[in-house]
Structure 1
Amino acid sequence: MKIAEKFEELRENKESALIAYICAGDPDSHVTKSAVETLVEGGADIVELGLPFSDPIADGPTIQEASDRAIRKGMNPDKYFELVKSLSVKVPLICMTYYNIIHKYGIRSFVDSCIEARISGIIVPDLPIEESTELKQCCENNNIDLIHLISPITNDERLKKILNNSSGFLYLISQTGVTGSDSNIDSGLESLIKKIKKYTDTPVAVGFGISNLSQVRNIISYGADGVIAGSVFVKTIASGKNMEHELLQIAKELKMGTRHD
């Protein structure tokens, strides 16, 4: 399923999207596969699978540590794509990784592997919009969404460039900093969502620091089309205690907040 189709389905059902992130290969591929299936059972509408990188600059300690564990266990791009191909869930899958991996793998080869693995979108946090032309063109030619990030400090000029070059959804960062931060969600988030929606029909999903039902409900009330939660799931996997049960309960709780009253 394509990302746009999923958002359209959710709109018809009067829901917004729960997008769940986990790091592939943490602590191993078997656990990742089980975690993905559990998250979807719990209500995740889209799953973002991190392809671990040694220097994940956009990620906080929780996901950095997960990436390190996965790499130490041997996770690499080839194993990543084999793992994703083995998944049978019927929701869009997104690859989140860093540009050094894509560049070394080869843009065309990387996109081809995404196609084979039925990946619907790619997020590259360290790829500036001005340098994304080659990857964007390759993604467009193969019906894969290249999803860009917008922060509370993105100026109007960059915002317009991003809006004109994004597909799937817009990843709106809820706060300055890294993933998993305990800081409060930016006070100007509601006005920023409304501003973005004046210029585009592309869905807006909010991430970074999203971990509880109250946050989800607030963000959806601001007009967001989805929320992205990651560190809360990664921490649960790392704890190893009743993982499937805990993941299921957290996903169900967060999903409740995406349903429109």
Structure 2
Amino acid sequence: MIEALQFEFIQHALLAGILVSFAAGVIGSLIVVNRMVFLAGGIAHASYGGIGLAVFLGLPVFLGASLFAVGAALLVASLTLHKRHRIDTFIGLIWAVGMAIGVIFIDLTPGYNVDMMSYLFGSILAVSTTDLYFMAILLVVIIFVMIFWYRDILAVSYDSEYATLRGVNVKFFYTLILILSALTVVIAIKVVGLILVIAMLTIPVYIAEKLSSSLRSMMVLSGAIATLFTLAGLWFSYTYDLTSGASIIIISAVSLGIFSLFYHHK
């Protein structure tokens, strides 16, 4: 694959993989500790509504998906802030409605014949310079938030009642976590597609959780593991001419199986 590095689209794919992997590592850790794994799939599928709307209106797809995903996250936050045990019900509803809206808008778009499979299974080789800027800015924002509000987010994630007693604005941080999760899901769609995004956000985190003693170390380690899986998946897809998103997830799943086998037999 070394000779392929001369191509700009390969360079973009590698950089996108690294940026998205570290964002997914941090946000995936928050999703797991907040028991919001279903959230990732819900927002990913809801963002399909934004993709369909963007196609219908002739807007940038990334913009449409981001706005729709953030809107879904805000809706989830308002509905579940005091009923977090009902979050799966609301996300299931948003999941289905978002997908339905996307399909209808694409059906209504005259003459649209672009392969929608790229949104379902990722198109990392088609990442543009603008996409890279978006990914880089989002990662910087995520790192900034975690550095300056780590203790508050930690408290909200593990014990929201205790956080409230400490004077932490639980509503603000709960909503912030959901918004950052939504935007991370959108950029992850570019890499592995909306169908596979849950795996990217959870498999590296599961491994990192077993090897970490704190949320901070889990975030860093899961980001590094996700990067390793992404780069290995890109090499695998390039070598055997396979879909990159699916290759990344297969590498991740096989690695998880091997890790689990050795971890449980230690």
Q: Which TM bucket (shorter chain)?
A: under 0.3
More helix by share: 2
TM-score by length of 1: 0.26
More strand by share: 1
TM-score by length of 2: 0.26
Between 1 and 2, higher relative CO (CA 8 Å, sep ≥ 6) is seen in 2
